[in-house]
């Protein structure tokens, strides 16, 4: 492999592509074969991937662009200011997007990583609206 994945990207991919979900297994197996081609410059750290398509099996999700994983980001106070999305194109990992819903809270890959690591949960208020 030419270069290793940045630690933040590797950590978040590992967390959102859980081993217990069969839908996540194919893209998860592709992770060792991707490298970051570019990052969004707005500060959100959305990362675009290059993947050696000869080295991996595509996920069985068809030829289109699909969301392979979608994980909300929670702050310590239970606020949910955004989410992390993993996209595949034609079954191949394509990009990791950090999406912000909040005007007040800045969301980046670092925020997502912290949320996943701390296991932040929705607040009681958010939980009650389910
Ligand atoms: Zn951005």
- For 18-62, the pLDDT digits (tens) are 888 888 999 999 999 999 999 998 888 999 999 999 999 999 989
For residue 37, which of 28, 26, 49, 27 has the smallest C-alpha distance? 49
Is 124 within the bounds of a domain? no
Count Cβ atoms within 10 A of the Cβ of residue 88 and give its class: 0-12 exposed, 13-18 middle, 19 or more buried: buried
Is 16 within the bounds of a domain? yes
93 within 8 A of 49, measured Cβ to Cβ: yes
Confidence (pLDDT) at 129: 45
pLDDT at 3 over 80: no
Percent of the chain with pLDDT over 70: 92
At 83-113, the pLDDT tens digits run 999 999 999 999 999 999 888 888 999 999 9
Is 49 within the bounds of a domain? yes
Confidence (pLDDT) at 116: 87
CA–centroid distance, residue 64 to ligand 1 (Å):
23
Query: Which residues lie at CB < 5 A from ion ligand 1?
Result: 40, 42, 44, 46
Is 74 within the bounds of a domain? yes
Confidence (pLDDT) at 125: 53
SS3 102: coil
Q: Full-prediction pTM beyond 0.85?
A: yes
User: ∠ CA 110-87-79 to the nearest 5 degrees?
Assistant: 40
Where b means 16+ CB within 10 Å and e means fewer, 5-30 reads beebbbbbbebbbeeeeeebebbbeb
Element (H, E) at 114: helix 109-118
CA–centroid distance, residue 98 to ligand 1 (Å):
7
Residue range of the domain that includes 39: 7-119
For 82, list phi and psi in degrees, rounded to 5.
175, -165
Number of domains making up the chain: 1
């Amino acid at each position: 492999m030419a270069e290793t994945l940045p630690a933040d990207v590797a950590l978040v991919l590992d967390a959102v592509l859980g081993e217990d979900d069969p839908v996540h297994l194919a893209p998860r197996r592709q992770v060792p074969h991707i490298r970051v081609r570019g990052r969004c410059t707005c500060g959100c750290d959305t990362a675009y991937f290059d993947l050696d398509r000869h080295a991996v099996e595509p996920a069985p999700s068809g030829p289109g662009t699909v969301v392979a994983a979608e994980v909300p980001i929670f702050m310590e106070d239970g606020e949910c200011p955004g989410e992390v999305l993993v996209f595949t194109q034609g079954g191949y990992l394509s990009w990791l997007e950090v999406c912000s819903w909040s005007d007040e809270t800045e969301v980046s890959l670092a925020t997502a990583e912290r949320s996943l690591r701390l296991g932040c949960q929705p607040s009681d208020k958010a939980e009650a609206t389910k």
